[in-house]
Amino acid sequence: MKFFRSILLVLSLVSIPITAIDKQAHIEGKFFPKLSDYRFFKDLTSQIPADEVLPYELQSDLFSDYTHKQRFVYVPPAMKVGHEKNKVFMFPVGSVLIKTFSYQNTMSELNPQLLETRLLIHSEGGWKAVSYIWNEDQSEAYLSLVGGTIQTSFSDEDGNIRSVRYRAPNKNQCKECHQINASLTPIGPKARNMNLTLSYDDKPQNQLAKWHDLGWIDQDIDFMKMINYSRLNEDIEDRARAYLEINCAHCHIPGGSADTTGLYLMLEETNKKSLGFYKKPVAAGKASFNLKYSIVPKKPNQSILLRRMESMDPGIMMPESGRALKHAEGIEVISEWINSL
């Protein structure tokens, strides 16, 4: 009898795919000690995803001290991704959004230098955020609930050496941006910010069409046009609104952490006062620079919004977290836009 029980146990173990992604762990909101424990990647260091994990990209992405970002998504088999116009895709329970931050042109032997991988896990209790910091030899990333800092340097597009103290957020700091109506939520993956063509098995395909082919989304979904704000040949109004949407509107939105300011910067906002035009700040103090309005058309230097983007003072700067450097290109876009109004 013991012999047969042993045989059954062996057969049951053989039938378990040990390399499969553990969907149940995501549903329960479990955090593993190492990034490799999730089995999201065939090659962890090279960031080659498992067959069940799909890369994705955004038209415009959040500025994070000039880091390069690789994004991936896992959706449980046979599950649908919901969609509502102007909203982030509604990923089913068990889904995971994966984002790895790196510097591509470093001044060390690490090139690229993997810094951090963040996970947004949709558990049955809601979304949970967690960070994994890469070790020095880039072989593994380890769970860090308290965050961390990495002192490094990189060469920018103009060949200038930039020194930066990269900060990985702690578990609670993620809520500063990823929260609407007191609930944690993703930021970037909206249909309008994902309407672009990627390469799948060396074949070009619109990624929304790819998601439809996978059965994740319906074919006909309604969304606004959104562009890449870094494209110099695009209309400055479209560039500026795309920049504000992805860099500011996760807080400056009804229900967001900056809701009480009444300054709403999402792409669909049409009320000029809500967008900051001749809008007085809710609170005065040094963050207002003794200026009257968030945006003064044709006067960038008299616009509080731009001045706070330019600042590096922790009590003034916007965004108030997530960066240690000024975003020169973003400042230029918003300055040019205000000057054109």
Work out the average pLDDT over 133-156: 92
User: pLDDT at residue 60 above 80?
Assistant: yes
Distance CA 266, CA 229 (A): 14
Q: Is 182 left (phi over 0), alpha (psi -120 to 50) or beta?
A: left
Distance CA 338, CA 110 (A): 40
Across 6-15, 189-198, 282-291, 313-322, the highest mean pLDDT is recorded for 189-198
What is the CB neighbour count within 10 angstroms for residue 123? 17
**Of 128, 123, 228, nearest in space to 172 by CA:** 128
Distance CA 37, CA 121 (A): 14
- Tell me the torsion sign for CA atoms 297, 302, 305, 310: positive
Peptide bond into 319 cis (omega under 30): yes
Q: Is 226 strand, coil or helix? A: coil
Distance CA 139, CA 142 (A): 10
Distance CA 58, CA 97 (A): 13
Distance CA 264, CA 253 (A): 5
**Of 102, 210, 194, 105, nearest in space to 158 by CA:** 105
Partners of 168 in the β-ladder:
148
pLDDT of residue 175: 62
Distance CA 174, CA 166 (A): 15
pTM, entire model: 0.90
pLDDT of residue 8: 39
User: pLDDT at residue 4 above 60?
Assistant: no
Mean pLDDT of the chain: 89
